[in-house]
Structure 1
Amino acid sequence: MIQSLKFYSFGLLLSVFDLPLAAQQTLWEPVADKVFLQEKSDIVPTPTAVTQVAILSGRSYAVLDGKLQELKADGLQPVSNSPAGISKLEVLDHSAWVMASSGFYRFADNSWEKLSEDNFVDVCLHLGKVHAATRDAIFVYKQGKLTDIEPEGGYLSSDVTMLMEDGTQLLADPVKLGPITSIASYSGTLHILRPGQLVQLSGKVVNEHLIDWGNLPSKNTGELLSMGSSLFISTDRGLGVLRGASLQSIQGDDGLPVEETRQLVQGFDRDVWIGTPRGAIRMLDEDWHYFGADHWLPDNRVNDIAVAENEVLVATEGGIGIIRYEPFTLRKKTDHYEYWLENWGHKRMGFIHTIRDYQGEWVREISDNDGAHTATYLSAMSYKYAVTGEETARKEAVDAFQAMLWLERITPIDGLIARSIWSRKGDKGEMGQRGSGGLPAKWNATADSLWYWKGDASSDEIIAHFYSVSLFHDLAAEGKEKELAKEHMRRIAGYIMENGWVLIDADGQPTRWGRWNPEYLLRPYGWSDRGVNGLEALAFSYSTYALTGEERFKKGYQQLVDWGYAENTIKQKNTFPPSQIAPWDDNLAFEAYNTLLRYEKDPEMRSIYLRSLERTFEIKRMEKIPWFNFTYAAMTGNDADLDAAVQHLREWTLDCIEHNYHNSHRDDLFVDEGYTSYEGGVKAISPREAAVTRGARRAIVLDGGQNSKRIMEPVGFIRDYWMGRHYGFIQAPEVSDPELLEVDKRSGEKVGAAPYDGPDRPKFL
């Protein structure tokens, strides 16, 4: 949201890491790492639909094929003596009230009590007693019996024409309660939902005129839920909300993800759970959480919901979705992801890999951008070491750094880098036959034939090397490591400059995307890349000069400035046409901003780059992605919606398997107030409602996933969290309980890809 401009407390803004920290006025406030409830998902698939669920005395139940079953660790187990044809199941007053084709039952302490042969439709707790409704009547349960609450002489009408002067009524026909579909106790009074109509039972009077203002959003009504000052009514066009005598609507424009609402259940934290044919919804005071298939639910069609303390069961056509809530801090969450990387086998010889299903086995993917993916982890561990001083973090950073070094040392040409490295004797799966942009892959064998390295490196990997290695140099490197970091940057930057700002591959030809020369960027063929590629070249030439002090790199930087590359960065972010928007370019640009603005101190040049960053961030701001917000705040000192960015981290799902997700059907697809969509996005989707993605992620992608056949490495979260801690955007958690700071690693169960079993990587230290 746009905040009014005001000066907050003095913060610390670090722009060159090897200079002393200087107090500088900032416009952002740090965000506390407070304890929050983190969702965890489990799915119990079933061969047929689960129609009802309930939680009674800490035990979970479900209705499958019309009969009650208990959900245990090993699956669903039939409950003995269960009636057949169960249509509804509600837990009230320490008992389950079961509505079935054979009658109405009370289930408690593993025993059944049949209360009536009649067909009942709903129950509620009213004035401390259970009330149950058939289609036409309401009964109260007292002393083990059901008693019809209809008064002697029948119900009275709220129609004033029926009222005589002495208070009596003359009725040509008896007043009926039905047809009843749902009942609820609201403000000490029974309320009855008929198809398309809400009525009130006020003593003896059936009040059909209780609403003074407003109307139901639709006559196609579902259920009632009384909660505090509100009575909610589900309809196929949104929720009706009765407050006093005023009926208002909540619909898609108000944030309701799906307007076709059916089931309504009170949550555990002043929240409401809503079942729909297109997923489940959690409604909070100022937020909406949407849960759909395939990550959270086995099927989108919700039949029932049951809620206990910090646990929710969702009955669907395909089984039961179980959503559990556990206290977390962001510190604990990053520990979860760091453990995930280790336990699921994402690491290999210092590299970080995506994992995919290959013929039924999880294997590490040797990709087009292993260097870029590893660079994110290298930066994460460099930030972590700067924050914590933990030697284990530095060790991880050094290991990743050596992997980055190897990508350059494995090629036969100083300064030429490989995209990735394949071990003939240790890697599983198959070597990818596609390269960048779908072009054929370029694999090259080493002289000893132990390894293949992938050529045709692009600008993506180049800027990733400079961003991460320079950051490692400044934050985590020691002794010889610093010299190796400088040498690594010197070799790559020097090779590109010597070849006229082009990356020449082993075959003597320029790589497809490794071009920063004016013949490409200042001509029609490469015109759309002139901004982002120019920004990269400025970043890697100046950062190399800043760390090595070699004048040739400063001269190269000035040459780029003379060509107009600096001015071209101002509008480097493309927003039109849609076909030309490359989301990964945003990641490259922000790696370049991070690199260039940490070193360049000239006010005139900084003013150009800051204008570029201002324009780019305003475009990306609506997505609330920490990587963009944190970079902007770090490099400018300005307010950067840090609360929204930190909340984005809290909403990441713990499961890194890329399940399919679908949001394009939703009714709440609008840009949040205070933001503008410049790229055509209709909504920033919460990470909870999508899948774990890497640094090039976009929050405006509505649908996606990999059929649960790929596992993404969660290094983006780890990098963003420790970056936030490093700059002070995220405060250290105040709690000291280890259970709120670390995940349990005692089980030791290994999952995912098997450990790498092949020749070792060369050592450079």
Structure 2
Amino acid sequence: MRFRDRIAVLICACFILFSEILSGQQMYGRKQHIWKPQQDEVYLQEVAEKISTKKPLQSVAELNGTCYVVLDGKLQVLHNGNLSPEPSAPSGIQKIQNENNSLWALTSDGIYLRKESSWQKIDDKEYVDICTHNEAVHAATKNEIYRFDGKKFKSTKPEHGYYSSSMTMVMEDGTQLHADPVELGPITEIESYSGTLYVLRPGQIVLFDGLIVNEDFIDWGSLPSKNTGEMLSLGSRLFINTDRGLAVLRGATLTTLKGEDGLPVENTSCLTKGFDGDIWIGTQQGAVRMLENEWHYFGAGLWLPDNNVNDIAAGDSVVYIATDGGLGIIKYEPFTLQKKADYYELHLEEWGHKRLGFIHTLYQKEGEWVREISDNDGGHTSPYLAAMSYKYAVTGDEEDRKQAVDAFKAMIWLEQISPVEGFFARAIYSPGGDKDEMSKHGSGGLPAKWYKTSDGKWIWKGDTSSDEVIAHFYSVSIFYELAAKGKEKDIAKEHLKRIASYIIDCGWVLNDMDGKPTRWGRWNPEYLLRPYGYVDRGINGLEALAFTKTAWALTGDEKFKKGYQQLVDWGYPENTLRQKNVFPPENIATWDDNHAFRSYYTLLRYAEDPRLRNMYLRSLERTWEVKRMEQIPWFNFVYGAITGNDCDEAKMIKHLREWVLDCTEYSYQNSHRDDLFIEPGYISYEGGRKRISPREMSVTRASRSPIDLDGGSNGRRVMEPVGFLRDYWMGRYHGFIEAPTATDSEFISVKRNREIQKGAKPYKGEQRPEIF
């Protein structure tokens, strides 16, 4: 063999090997990848609690694990989730504060110290602030600072009056003569920083070293506003609230933290030290936690009773936030992602999200939580079926497989209930068992199509769309690969075969019971390659390629091979290259991204032809680049699993940790924030102004959009957290997330109490028929 022929053979062999690596013939698996597995380490998970009050809380303090608040000038103590008065406390309290591990109360007629369970009046003067300086408590009136000697307050004013920092006042012997006395006040706040007392006047910061009132110690910078609030010393910095950002003093330099630096709200009002080197900032638009390299925003709804924050206090892994509407309590508990997944699984049980194998959202109806019979019961159950299939593949636990089988049977039932083979329902309604009403609307606002079964026991919803089709192929094929056993595999194959066959037989549309195409069940060229449906040619073409190729791969039926080739001949693979619409705004649909990644994940598992695969991968690369700024694990894990490329995997762990435990869909607002900018290293292609953390919104479905700044339903719905379960167990299955090294059950699971029922009452209607 000639040398160039040998080279050609070597190149061919390398190409075949590379194609095999890319194709991932083992279940989505890749032996080679650039991304790095991430550890599921113990972290602190926020847990919210709210106590509403009819009047604003003026001040809050924590001492030895107990929270104290001031309500209408009177002291209240938090005990077992309730606020109760402390009878022995003074009245007319303006501020309470923990200094030197003692509780102080500042009132209009003096300052009080709490000793054990009683209060002692220390001084009659009206004090405005208190701090600890050189290990002693110092308190300030409007004009003077006093030091507490253990029994009483003594003035720190020099015997011959305050000196000025102005050099023109200094005489040859170092003394000063003043035409007018130097004043320390008017004082609004005092704080100890770097061994010196700093004083905040209205719009001005000065320092007092025991003799000199220094108004000229800042060499660089100035306060961003004369409207100042509180001061807080932490390490090398002194922070000052203003309405135009957070002023920061380091040495003799004064700078400002603003929205462009990450501060969510620039109009700040109060400050306190956290429990882990962090700082908490109060604003009229919520509370902010400032850590070393990130900011956490907590608004009204999920976290606080009201947005207007008046005071904040921190204890051991807990923060108390006094607002106009009551007390917000944010506790920090040790979690791993595995524990959070376990928590969400328990949530599904306790809140009654499950019914007949389906997963449902809950909403309030006449004061009662009921399960919503939706347009997409199969689509909402699909990620749960995938999650439990992944989980079983990881754990090998038969209980996990049982959950997957139950969801699988529900998906199969959607097709079995229809009298037309291959046509399946959106949802199934029980006239005698469901408290929800049958919806009157279908796709695109058209009238809903409901059909009764011949025995009258069930009513099922038609007008099935492309959403449900790709949901079935995505999740059932995962179940087939990872969890199905025995005849379940055959049933899964036949289920997908019947659906794909029916679509092809109908001329690449999904005909409803009236023999006409459903509103969105269209993949035919007459629709996609004509002006009316042209905008959907990419996403619908991708779906059609996915379900046809899957049916061919699983069954080997020649019908699907020919169908797949027909799509190729029509140019559908080329149309997928720009399937992701980014303009105009009315063509951008979050749910289409969900369908697209379901399609990529399914199609690229079976696609083998190098040329076609190349196009699908190019399509995926373009789509993922658009979605990358959102940092959603679902998108990134799909991309990383298919390509083996780096996929911001570390940020995916952070994202999952930021999911909130409370699944109630509270309203949230972020559009007012001052930090609405795109994170460096990312580009917004869809007009998003910022990627909002899961902590700063509410639990939403798998097609969640973190660039929608405002949303929610004012606490009237409870969402099913199956998106987290799918993403977490998918990450575990593929190796993006390693098993937690912690073995203590406290860190990896939550306690069960089967008697708890928090949401919808158990379903008591007709039971699901035998599926197989």
Q: How far apart, in 1, do the equivalents of 2:157 and 2:77 lie?
A: 37
**Identity of matched residues, %:** 61
Given that 1:426 and 1:757 are in contact with CA atoms closer than 8 Å, whether structure 2 keeps it comes out as: yes
The answer to whether structure 1 residue 687 and structure 2 residue 694 are counterparts is yes
Q: How far apart, in 2, do the equivalents of 1:292 and 1:21 lie?
A: 41
Please give the secondary structure, in 2, of the residue aligned with 1:382. helix
1:313–1:681 distance in 2 versus 1, CA, 3 Å: same
1:668–1:19 distance in 2 versus 1, CA, 3 Å: closer
Q: How does 1:177-256 map to 2 (within 5 A)?
A: 177-256=184-263
Q: Deviations over 1:722-746 (max 9, x none)?
A: 0001110011111101000001224
Equivalent residue for 1:361? 368
Identify which of 44, 47, 67 aligns with 1:37: 44
Identify which of 660, 668, 688 aligns with 1:661: 668
Please give the secondary structure, in 2, of the residue aligned with 1:558. helix
Given that 1:542 and 1:599 are in contact with CA atoms closer than 8 Å, whether structure 2 keeps it comes out as: yes
Q: Deviations over 1:290-327 (max 9, x none)?
A: 00111100000001101001111111111101100001
Q: How far apart, in 2, do the equivalents of 1:140 and 1:504 lie?
A: 85
Alpha-carbon distance, 1:472 to partner: 0.5
Question: What count of residue pairs does the alignment treat as equivalent?
Answer: 753
Given that 1:83 and 1:102 are in contact with CA atoms closer than 8 Å, whether structure 2 keeps it comes out as: no
Identify which of 513, 516, 541 aligns with 1:509: 516
The answer to whether structure 1 residue 615 and structure 2 residue 622 are counterparts is yes
Given that 2:28 and 2:642 are in contact with CA atoms closer than 8 Å, whether structure 1 keeps it comes out as: no
Q: Deviations over 1:92-126 (max 9, x none)?
A: 11211111122211123121111222211111100
Q: How far apart, in 1, do the equivalents of 2:267 and 2:564 lie?
A: 59
Equivalent residue for 2:354? 347
Q: How far apart, in 1, do the equivalents of 2:654 and 2:207 lie?
A: 42
1:74–1:646 distance in 2 versus 1, CA, 3 Å: closer
Alpha-carbon distance, 1:390 to partner: 0.9
Identify which of 403, 420, 427 aligns with 1:396: 403
TM-score (ref. length: structure 2): 0.96
Equivalent residue for 1:522? 529
Q: How far apart, in 2, do the equivalents of 1:74 and 1:689 lie?
A: 24
Amino acid at match of 1:213: W
Equivalent residue for 1:4? none
Q: How far apart, in 1, do the equivalents of 2:48 and 2:266 lie?
A: 24
Q: Deviations over 1:515-535 (max 9, x none)?
A: 000000000000110000000
Please give the secondary structure, in 2, of the residue aligned with 1:275. strand
Alpha-carbon distance, 1:758 to partner: 1.4
Q: Deviations over 1:344-394 (max 9, x none)?
A: 000011100001111111110000000001111000001111111111111
Equivalent residue for 1:89? 96
Alpha-carbon distance, 1:155 to partner: 1.2
The answer to whether structure 1 residue 752 and structure 2 residue 759 are counterparts is yes
Q: How far apart, in 2, do the equivalents of 1:17 and 1:341 lie?
A: 34
Unaligned runs of 5+ in 1: 1-11
Alpha-carbon distance, 1:23 to partner: 2.4
Q: How far apart, in 1, do the equivalents of 2:161 and 2:564 lie?
A: 92
Q: How far apart, in 2, do the equivalents of 1:581 and 1:237 lie?
A: 36
Q: How far apart, in 2, do the equivalents of 1:464 and 1:21 lie?
A: 21
Equivalent residue for 1:314? 321
Given that 1:14 and 1:727 are in contact with CA atoms closer than 8 Å, whether structure 2 keeps it comes out as: no
The answer to whether structure 1 residue 299 and structure 2 residue 306 are counterparts is yes
Identify which of 450, 457, 463 aligns with 1:456: 463
Q: Deviations over 1:701-739 (max 9, x none)?
A: 111111111010000000000000111001111110100
Q: How far apart, in 1, do the equivalents of 2:633 and 2:575 lie?
A: 26
The answer to whether structure 1 residue 379 and structure 2 residue 386 are counterparts is yes
Q: Deviations over 1:136-156 (max 9, x none)?
A: 000001131000011110111
Q: How far apart, in 2, do the equivalents of 1:279 and 1:759 lie?
A: 47
The answer to whether structure 1 residue 738 and structure 2 residue 754 are counterparts is no
The answer to whether structure 1 residue 559 and structure 2 residue 566 are counterparts is yes
Q: How far apart, in 2, do the equivalents of 1:700 and 1:19 lie?
A: 32
Alpha-carbon distance, 1:429 to partner: 2.4
Q: Deviations over 1:68-89 (max 9, x none)?
A: 0111125211111322221111
Equivalent residue for 1:108? 115
Alpha-carbon distance, 1:20 to partner: 10
Given that 2:47 and 2:332 are in contact with CA atoms closer than 8 Å, whether structure 1 keeps it comes out as: yes
Identify which of 604, 612, 626 aligns with 2:633: 626
1:105–1:536 distance in 2 versus 1, CA, 3 Å: same
The answer to whether structure 1 residue 714 and structure 2 residue 711 are counterparts is no
Alpha-carbon distance, 1:216 to partner: 1.1
Amino acid at match of 2:31: A
Given that 2:24 and 2:642 are in contact with CA atoms closer than 8 Å, whether structure 1 keeps it comes out as: no
Please give the secondary structure, in 1, of the residue aligned with 2:580. coil
The answer to whether structure 1 residue 23 and structure 2 residue 31 are counterparts is yes
Q: How far apart, in 2, do the equivalents of 1:594 and 1:166 lie?
A: 84
Equivalent residue for 2:443? 436
1:86–1:605 distance in 2 versus 1, CA, 3 Å: same
1:544–1:211 distance in 2 versus 1, CA, 3 Å: same
Q: Which moved more, 1:576-585 or 1:448-457?
A: 576-585
Given that 1:13 and 1:637 are in contact with CA atoms closer than 8 Å, whether structure 2 keeps it comes out as: no
1:158–1:21 distance in 2 versus 1, CA, 3 Å: closer
Given that 1:14 and 1:21 are in contact with CA atoms closer than 8 Å, whether structure 2 keeps it comes out as: no
Amino acid at match of 2:689: V
Given that 1:200 and 1:207 are in contact with CA atoms closer than 8 Å, whether structure 2 keeps it comes out as: yes
Q: How far apart, in 2, do the equivalents of 1:85 and 1:618 lie?
A: 59
The answer to whether structure 1 residue 543 and structure 2 residue 570 are counterparts is no
Amino acid at match of 1:380: A
Q: How far apart, in 1, do the equivalents of 2:280 and 2:63 lie?
A: 18
Q: How far apart, in 2, do the equivalents of 1:21 and 1:37 lie?
A: 32
Equivalent residue for 1:147? 154
Please give the secondary structure, in 2, of the residue aligned with 1:488. helix
Unaligned runs of 5+ in 2: 1-19
Q: Deviations over 1:240-285 (max 9, x none)?
A: 1111111111000100000001100000011000000000000000
Alpha carbon RMSD of aligned pairs, Å? Answer: 1.3
Q: How far apart, in 1, do the equivalents of 2:689 and 2:605 lie?
A: 34
Given that 2:29 and 2:734 are in contact with CA atoms closer than 8 Å, whether structure 1 keeps it comes out as: no
Amino acid at match of 2:154: T
Q: Deviations over 1:28-78 (max 9, x none)?
A: 111111111100001100111111111112111111111001111252111
Q: How far apart, in 2, do the equivalents of 1:65 and 1:143 lie?
A: 30
Amino acid at match of 2:492: A
Alpha-carbon distance, 1:513 to partner: 0.2
Given that 2:698 and 2:712 are in contact with CA atoms closer than 8 Å, whether structure 1 keeps it comes out as: yes
Q: How far apart, in 1, do the equivalents of 2:46 and 2:648 lie?
A: 24
The answer to whether structure 1 residue 158 and structure 2 residue 142 are counterparts is no
Given that 1:256 and 1:288 are in contact with CA atoms closer than 8 Å, whether structure 2 keeps it comes out as: yes
Alpha-carbon distance, 1:455 to partner: 0.3
Given that 2:156 and 2:210 are in contact with CA atoms closer than 8 Å, whether structure 1 keeps it comes out as: no
Equivalent residue for 1:272? 279
Q: How far apart, in 2, do the equivalents of 1:378 and 1:14 lie?
A: 26
Given that 1:17 and 1:474 are in contact with CA atoms closer than 8 Å, whether structure 2 keeps it comes out as: no
Identify which of 500, 508, 530 aligns with 2:507: 500
1:396–1:208 distance in 2 versus 1, CA, 3 Å: same
Equivalent residue for 1:481? 488
TM-score (ref. length: structure 1): 0.97
Q: How far apart, in 1, do the equivalents of 2:413 and 2:518 lie?
A: 19
Given that 2:28 and 2:641 are in contact with CA atoms closer than 8 Å, whether structure 1 keeps it comes out as: no
Equivalent residue for 1:328? 335
Alpha-carbon distance, 1:461 to partner: 0.3
Amino acid at match of 1:425: G
The answer to whether structure 1 residue 135 and structure 2 residue 142 are counterparts is yes
Given that 2:28 and 2:605 are in contact with CA atoms closer than 8 Å, whether structure 1 keeps it comes out as: no
Equivalent residue for 1:63? 70
